[in-house]
Amino acid sequence: MSWSCCSNLCPSTSSFLTLGYDLKLFNGNKVSNPQAQRQKRKLSKSSKETNISAYYGLKSPPYKLDALEPYMSQKTLEKHWGGHHRTYVEGLNKQLERNDFLYGLTMDELIKVTYNNGNPLPEFNNAAQVWNHDFFWESMQPGGGHQPVLGLLQQIEKDFGSFTNFREKFIEAAMTLFGSGWVWLVLQKEEKRLTIIKTSNAVNPIVWDNIPLISLDMWEHSYYLDYRNDKSKYVNAFMNHLISWDAAMVRIVRAQAFVNLGEPKIPVA
Ligand SMILES: [Fe+2]
């Protein structure tokens, strides 16, 4: 076994879970005597006796921080991504250092386990907020807005009657969300249809086995610098200029690995 993998334990490099083995087992020194070598082999074979560290990284948005101007300012991205999102990542990593039983889970698994059937464990809020923000940044793109095309548009028309009706329902959901939270366009696996849901605080719809396609952050920190209390202006800017239907298309194509939508067919991008 190579111990160089420990050098990968860098929270700043990626959003994926990185596993490694704690060098403290051998004090970082070369083990030379036979007894110590036997001990090393014994420890190497026994996962129970191996300390595993897990870290999540702060993933960058898929565009420059000024790329969503003038609809979402660089200043907002600096505070929101560089401040709030970073704090959730750091808080989660600190919590995980103290909790062995959560090591080795994917982020989706971590969220579902810590949701704990509606009685969230302390790690849930940070874990879900990391996921939610990663997803939110990728739910927007420079030059976004407009409307979806092809199969995704057909699915929206099938489930909402028209794109105009979907748009009105999404905006209404955002404007009637009480307190901090999120608005989502999700694919419901069981019902095999699209729907709009609102969640409070950090709650993420994957805890109910829904497949998110789009999210909108309705925490005050996402709009206050640019729009003050004018939530309507923020939500309309998101719908008209920021929402990434390209991302939603990719997500619904992937979702078809789990959900047979039948007709209309969603074309493979
Ligand atoms: Fe946020």
Q: Do 71 and 237 meet the contact criterion of CB atoms below 8 Å apart?
A: yes
Q: What is the structure's pLDDT at 98? A: 85
Q: Round to whole Å and give the CA distance between 40 and 26.
A: 8
Query: What is the CA(58)–ligand 1 centre distance, in A?
Result: 14
Question: How close is the Cα of 105 to the center of ligand 1, in Å?
Answer: 23
Q: Kindly give the distance from the C-alpha atom of residue 235 to the centroid of ligand 1, in angstroms, as a whole number.
A: 14
Instruction: Say how many Å lie between the CA of residue 89 and the centre of ligand 1.
Output: 12
pLDDT of 262 reads: 78
Q: Which residues contact 213 (CB under 8 A, 6 or more apart)?
A: 184, 185, 186, 187, 194, 248, 251, 252, 255
Tell which phi-psi region holds residue 77, choosing left (phi > 0), alpha (psi between -120 and 50) or beta.
Answer: alpha
* Ligand 1 centroid – CA 132 distance (Å): 8
Give phi and psi for 212, each to the nearest 5.
-70, 140
Joined together, the tokens standing for residue 8 give 């990968």
What are the 10-residue block averages of pLDDT along the chain, 269 residues in total? 30 31 28 47 46 75 98 98 97 89 89 96 97 98 94 95 98 97 96 96 96 98 97 98 98 90 63
119 CA distance to ligand 1 centroid (A)? 22
* pLDDT given for residue 267 in this prediction: 59
The phi-psi region of residue 98 (left if phi > 0; otherwise alpha if psi is between -120 and 50; otherwise beta) is alpha
Residue 83 alpha carbon to ligand 1 centre in Å: 10
Residue 264: predicted pLDDT: 52
pTM, to two decimals = 0.79
For residue 243, how far is its CA from the centre of ligand 1 (angstroms)? 16
Centroid of ligand 1 to alpha carbon of 199 (angstroms): 13
Report the distance separating Cα 51 and Cα 61, nearest Å. 32
CA of 216 to the centre of ligand 1 (A): 9
